[in-house]
Amino acid sequence: MMFAALGSKNACAFEGGISPYPAGAVGTNIAEMPPIPGLFALEQFNYSFANGLYGNNGEKLPIPFHMSAFSATTRLLASYPFTVLGARVYSQLVLPVVSLHTNVAGQQGTQNGLSNITLSPVILSWNLARHLTFTSGFDIAFETGSYSPSKPSVAVGYTSLQPVVSLRYNDPNGIDVGVANRLMINRENGTTGYKSGTAYVSEFEAGWNIGKWKLGLVGAYLNQFTDDRQNGSVIGGNRAKTLGIGPSIVYDAGKFNINLNYQQGIYAANTSKSNAIWLNVAIPLWAKPPGPVTGY
């Protein structure tokens, strides 16, 4: 579900139909951290589209609906020259800009602007074994961006707290599998009194390394497991679920990494069934040559 402002509060979960995190955004970058100190950038370009709304049991609703969105996101990752508890330490800043177009029952709308800025103050990454990496972090999606309580928006009007843990096994001459687990603990919107429910997001990838190339699959599953609330009152039967999966190809040139993937919407409940194309380009902005890493 990628910035799916649905325009009908009765047809979607999450306030305005917008998830504070676009499930599937991690792509093939699960638990993938640079092993040297420096500043790194991941440029993400996304086009997503949907042509229907789906009810509580996954049935398509008789509401004329079309949504398309283009986003350009810059993820800045700082890698520090020390370890904590045996883990390498990182911080991340996420800056998404979105152009959203909706058509709900003939009512068209367009909004362009900054979506919610996300900060990961501390990310810890452990090498548990050869080719096996475990990471743990905490994302804060701030109440920022182009938000309106009265029309489809590219941002949400509340803060979302998101603990994340990821595990990945990546043999450069063979199999690559990974999974990232995220909770979205959403705060109440102070303007509208609406509190979007808590949700779990699982993002996964599997592939096979062939020299500099990798072929495989990526996908994401979202399950909202608490109800939305309006001014303290429960909105029952309105929890979002989505599942998307599709092919992925990666080219690793050493100094930069390119991933192209397509995620087809397979299932949706209380939201839209979105399809998304992602182009991800990872580049170093500054990197210190490999050397000893100090620890605490």
> 35: domain CATH number?
2.40.128.130
194 alpha-carbon distance from chain centroid: 22
Q: Which residues contact 122 (CB under 8 A, 6 or more apart)?
A: 89, 90, 91, 137, 138
Residue 52 belongs to what domain range?
Answer: 9-287
Which pTM was predicted? 0.92
- Position 261 in a domain: yes
pLDDT tens per residue across all 296 residues of the chain? 443 344 444 557 898 888 999 999 999 999 999 999 999 999 999 999 999 999 999 999 999 999 999 999 999 999 999 999 999 999 999 999 999 999 988 888 899 999 999 999 999 999 999 999 999 999 999 998 899 888 888 999 999 999 999 999 999 999 999 999 999 999 999 999 999 999 999 999 999 999 999 999 999 999 999 999 999 999 988 899 999 999 999 999 988 999 999 999 999 999 999 999 999 999 999 998 766 555 64
Q: Does 295 reside within a domain?
A: no
122 part of a folded domain = yes
- Whether 202 is covered by a domain: the verdict is yes
In angstroms, rounded to a whole number, what is the distance separating the alpha carbons of residues 124 and 89? Answer: 5
In a domain, 294, yes or no: no
Examine residue 1 and state whether it is found in any structural domain, yes or no. no
Q: What local confidence, expressed as pLDDT, does residue 3 receive?
A: 39
* Overall domain count for the chain: 1
